[in-house]
Amino acid sequence: MRFQDIPGLESTKSQLIEAVKGNHVAHAQLFVGTEGSANLAMALAFSTYLNCEAPGETDACGACPSCVKNSKYIHPDVNFVFPSAATPKFKREDATSEKFLVEWRSFLTQTPYGNVSDWSNHFGWENKLLMIPRQESRNIIRALSLKSFEGKYKVMIIWQPELMNVNAANGILKILEEPPQDTIFLLVANDSNRLLTTILSRAQQLRIPSFSDENVRNVLIEKSSLSEEEISRIAYRANGNLRLALSEIEGSTNDTNDYFKDWMRQCFTYNFESLVKLADDFQKRGKEFQINVLSVASNYMRETMLKGVDAENISRLPDFEKGFIEKFAGVFIPEKIARISPSFDEAQYHVERNANPKILFLDLSLSIAQIARAKSN
Ligand SMILES: [Zn+2]
């Protein structure tokens, strides 16, 4: 991965490049970006740049031995730690990142904007709960105690530090604070609120902005043969989440928007029996679909809020969505949106961590129904 492989985000890229040129690269950095952002891709591109033998003004050269190895994620000085689960071959505590590097590399190549569920599916863990086990902190310390093999920097990329076992997190505090010379930690997270404050305080935070609609459109134009109108629709719905946009062109999320609208209609009418049926259906659809529905829900919440506070001029709403949002905003005034909106993000978080989707969906449906019907004052 190089900077040029990531659409847009020029100021983030140049900020990173300037740090290298000025020789003031922070030894522990936290790349925070929402799902479907470039947080992981940016860490990969940055680590390629750090060890490039002939770095250019705006990117790594792409041709030196170091760049070639980084393009295959096999550079001996770039280490990866990521969540995993037990396998028939390895018990939970022994299931550490180094055992799964082959699958990890193919995941990075195919799905650099993927989330934990994508990684879990890619490996074939399916519904197991992924985490970074305690043993991993010892592996990190061991890997970093070796001198760098060939690069200028030793890089340790920790993906999803939110999923670190507490003992694993505590185990790296000392080395995170005082790493060996020319060692760079890149922690790649979605939500810094879910990290231990002791980790947070030791890393310099870099917020990776979401992609713009234009960034997303450009990727879709390159990767699909869809019409311009269809591409604009998908980009709009994705709201900067490139993972969501890409899964939509693969056909896996085509009906999530309609599904969400239908769900909301059933919440308004408050038909308990049909909500139970829908919850059953939601359960059967599988995790990726569930996450996508909850993820588009967040977009609709945002649009409705903007409509409700008369900020339509900054809304990204295309014509084909106006009817639904107008009706929805009629029921869900801003005060009500503020109440239900966080529930969708919470639900997504729990689905990703294998909460029972049926119970969660039903629970969420009932609170939406109640809020919809509550008298506003
Ligand atoms: Zn190079």
Residue type, 294: L
Instruction: Give 323-367 pLDDT, tens digit per residue.
Output: 888 888 888 888 899 999 999 989 988 888 888 999 999 999 999
Q: For residue 58, how far is its CA from the centre of ligand 1 (angstroms)? A: 12
CATH number for the domain spanning 270: value is: 1.20.272.10
Q: For residue 63, how far is its CA from the centre of ligand 1 (angstroms)? A: 5
**Domain match, 220 and 197 both:** no
Q: Kindly report which listed range (32-36, 174-178, 337-341, 352-356) carries the lowest average pLDDT score.
A: 352-356
Rounded Cα distance, 234 and 213, in Å: 9
Instruction: Give 76-126 pLDDT, tens digit per residue.
Output: 999 999 999 999 999 988 999 999 999 999 999 999 999 998 898 889 887
**Domain match, 65 and 100 both:** yes
User: Is residue 59's pLDDT more than 90?
Assistant: yes
Residue type, 6: I
Q: For residue 66, how far is its CA from the centre of ligand 1 (angstroms)? A: 6
**Domain match, 357 and 241 both:** no
The edge-to-edge listing of strands for the beta sheet with 204-207 is 78-81, 154-159, 183-189, 28-32, 204-207
CA-to-CA separations, 29 to 11, 87, 115, 146, in angstroms, rounded: 17, 31, 20, 21
Q: Are 158 and 81 in contact (CB under 8 A)?
A: yes
pLDDT at 314: 54
Q: For residue 368, how far is its CA from the centre of ligand 1 (angstroms)? A: 53
Rounded Cα distance, 340 and 324, in Å: 18
**Domain match, 39 and 148 both:** yes
Rounded Cα distance, 185 and 188, in Å: 10
Q: For residue 328, how far is its CA from the centre of ligand 1 (angstroms)? A: 52
Q: Are 107 and 159 in contact (CB under 8 A)?
A: no
**Domain match, 46 and 168 both:** yes
Q: For residue 67, how far is its CA from the centre of ligand 1 (angstroms)? A: 4
CATH number for the domain spanning 118: value is: 3.40.50.300
Q: For residue 206, how far is its CA from the centre of ligand 1 (angstroms)? A: 24
**Domain match, 65 and 186 both:** yes
**Domain match, 131 and 279 both:** no
**Domain match, 271 and 353 both:** yes
Q: For residue 95, how far is its CA from the centre of ligand 1 (angstroms)? A: 33
**Domain match, 225 and 159 both:** no
Q: For residue 6, how far is its CA from the centre of ligand 1 (angstroms)? A: 17
pLDDT at 326: 84
Task: Determine the structural domain holding residue 197 and report its residue range.
Answer: 3-207
| Cβ-based neighbour number of residue 339 at 10 Å | 15
Q: For residue 147, how far is its CA from the centre of ligand 1 (angstroms)? A: 21
Q: Where among 254, 284, 316 does a domain terminate?
A: 254
Q: For residue 262, how far is its CA from the centre of ligand 1 (angstroms)? A: 51
Q: For residue 180, how far is its CA from the centre of ligand 1 (angstroms)? A: 24
**Domain match, 162 and 310 both:** no
DSSP 3-state of 348:
helix
Q: For residue 158, how far is its CA from the centre of ligand 1 (angstroms)? A: 23
**Domain match, 15 and 51 both:** yes
- How many domains are contained in the chain? 3
Q: For residue 52, how far is its CA from the centre of ligand 1 (angstroms)? A: 4
